[in-house]
Amino acid sequence: MVEAIGTLIRMPGFMAELFINYDCHVERQDLCEDMVGLLARNAFADAAYWSTANVPPLCLDSLLTFVQYMAERTVYASPPSTDSRLAQLREQRRRKKIIKAGSLKFNDSPKGGIAFLVKNGIIDDPDDPTQIAKFLKSTSHLSKSVLGEFITKKTNQALLIAFIGLFDFKGKRIDEALRELLTSFRLPGESALIERIVEVFVEKYMNSPDTDSIADDTAGYVLTYAIIMLNTDLYNPQVAKTQKRMAPEDFARNLRGTNGKEDFEPEYLQDIYDAIKQNEIILPDEHDNKDAFDHAWKTMLLRTQGAGQLELCDSNAFDAEMFRATWKPIIATLCYVFMSATDDAVFSRIVTGFNQCAQLSATYNMPEAFDRIIYSLAQISSLAPEMAPSTSLNTEVQAGKRKVMVSELAVRLGRDFRAQLSASLLFHTLRGHESAVGETWIYIVRILRNLFINALISMPAQQDGKLTSIGQIPLQLPSQVIDKDGRAAEAGIFSSFTTYLAGMPALQIEILVNALLSEMPDAPSPVVVVKPDIRPAPVTARVNGTRIGKHGPEYDPGSVFLLELVTRLALRDEETMSATGELVTNALQAAVRGADQLHPIAASRIVTYLFDLLRHSYTYDWMR
């Protein structure tokens, strides 16, 4: 079956046609979503335990092929002729979601569900029982038990009449008509409710043609009750323990003289008995034999009569809606396989899949999907924890003619291939798609900050001269600064990232600046946190054998890094200055006001940033 599904998916237009003809139809199943969900669930390596070892890779390949076809089609423009059809499909999907939500509410509270559907325009008039009955009969998402109890309430008599009035019993024997009725809802257990249903059913049935075998309504009422009792007698497991099950003769004997004071025709009663004997009258989904399949097959054949022509698709006109409906299980599967894979070929396919999903998210303006990709990669990299990793144990090591800093984060990252790959993939995904980032800039900022304070990246040199050249931000105090030989050329990931920022819209720059400033420590000063001496401080002297700790503001290079970066972003051009200049100025001024809590290195750099900002923004009202 998995191979057959894979073959179908390799047909470029198959999934789009499935989506249009089923997922966008109000009364049909979401086959495209269901198929993607099936492939996603079975692409996990664990699926091999309940299937075969070949199933997970086949499912993953089919899933990635589906994504690949959509990504390849993004380079083409959508045909203008499909705009009206696309709007129609969106409306159908909107109605479908409302109907599903309303059905769930109806199953919990019928009155609440009806009110929800009225509020959202699915039912126009809540006082019209025919409108409500048409919805209840045509919707397959309702609980049959709840529906049966609701329409048989005494206060809903008009609704019950309208509901049964929608059936066409022409040419059907009374047991066949009753079977058709009871496929739409479960028969309640209370005798008063059953009596109400039988009365309305018989009245409707007797007004249909071809009812000559039944003398009048009273005879129809008695016969209907007898059929319900026969069905219970033949299939209730408790009956066989206490008495013999009803035979055809017993069924006919119970109905003597009830057909207008005459007997029913023996052949007529025998046909009814045989039909019940062969097939129990219960809801189709409660059958555990071939009858369930037979009913589903007959239902499908009936629906095909009014289904219309199959709509074909040979363009990317509906890819945006299709990806919007299926991206969650796809991205979840890519993350799971990325975390569990061991083969290089699988890693390569997953990386390609992430890039294609990012391309689709950016092209079709889906920030939620793009943010999920960024968040997932950030978590896999383990570089974006909410609490910044401690740098107290960072140590300088001599490497040739240079000194390099060794940190716990650097060692952990160096040993974790997945973390390295996910970090690289995250920044590669951002290339050209910066405007697609929504609420996940915060994780990107945390990664940059943590890489910087652990000497894994450095701030690239300024090219435009707007920021005064005061050298690289020291990661340690001057007495501990390592040899910078060759470090300026090793900007790496961050150097590429700042190149990406050059083309970002001012609105995205403003979001990024807010994210950067949100990572400033909460303290009297946004730059310096005075921490209690949990670990022994460096020894400066001994008095009576007691170590005297070193006092003063603690130097925090990470916060200086954040403030320098937001200053650079604000100084990029006039547009970014207008969008972010006031915000950055306020942050720098707040830091300067707490100068007594600043380390001298941090204070000197922050004052420099503020003067540079003043030099290029003195004409703005907020600066004056």
Please write the tens of the pLDDT for every residue from 390-448: 776 677 666 676 667 777 888 888 888 899 999 989 988 887 788 888 889 899 989 98
Q: Which of 205, 239, 235 is nearest to 223 (CA)?
A: 205
Q: Which of 553, 567, 550, 552 is nearest to 605 (CA)?
A: 567
Residues 21-45: what's their mean pLDDT? 89
Checking if the pLDDT of 482 tops 70, the result is: no
Checking if the pLDDT of 243 tops 90, the result is: no
Q: Which residue has the higher pLDDT, 51 or 621?
A: 621
The predicted pLDDT at position 486 comes to 44
How far CA 460 is from CA of 314, 452, 463, 474, 577, in Å, comes to 48, 11, 9, 13, 21
Strand partners, 406: 395
pLDDT band at 295 (very low <50, low <70, confident <90, very high): low
The predicted pLDDT at position 544 comes to 36
Checking if the pLDDT of 480 tops 50, the result is: no
The predicted pLDDT at position 412 comes to 85
Residue 10 backbone dihedrals phi, psi, to 5 degrees:
-70, -10
Checking if the pLDDT of 550 tops 90, the result is: no
The per-residue pLDDT for range 76-109, each reduced to its tens digit, is: 888 877 888 888 989 999 999 999 999 999 999 9
Contact between 426 and 381 (Cβ < 8 Å) = yes
Most confident range, picked from 18-32, 157-171, 592-606: 157-171
Calpha distance 190→198 (Å, rounded): 13
The answer to which of 18-32, 435-449, 511-525 has the lowest mean pLDDT is: 511-525
Contact between 180 and 299 (Cβ < 8 Å) = no
Average confidence score pLDDT of the chain: 83
Angle between helix axes 191-206 and 174-182 (nearest 10 degrees) is 130
Ramachandran bin of 471, using left for φ above 0, alpha for ψ from -120 to 50, beta for the remaining angles: left
Calpha distance 142→148 (Å, rounded): 10
Checking if the pLDDT of 284 tops 60, the result is: no
The per-residue pLDDT for range 133-142, each reduced to its tens digit, is: 999 998 888 9
Contact between 437 and 367 (Cβ < 8 Å) = yes
The per-residue pLDDT for range 106-127, each reduced to its tens digit, is: 999 999 999 999 999 999 998 8
Checking if the pLDDT of 490 tops 50, the result is: no
Contact between 45 and 32 (Cβ < 8 Å) = no
Calpha distance 160→153 (Å, rounded): 9
DSSP 8-state assignment for residue 46: G
pLDDT band at 206 (very low <50, low <70, confident <90, very high): very high
Residues 375-386: what's their mean pLDDT? 91
Calpha distance 437→555 (Å, rounded): 32
pLDDT band at 56 (very low <50, low <70, confident <90, very high): confident
The predicted pLDDT at position 245 comes to 84
Q: Which two tokens stand for residue 249?
A: 């003769």
The predicted pLDDT at position 489 comes to 40
Q: Which residue has the higher pLDDT, 302 or 102?
A: 102
Residues 314-331: what's their mean pLDDT? 92
The predicted pLDDT at position 269 comes to 93
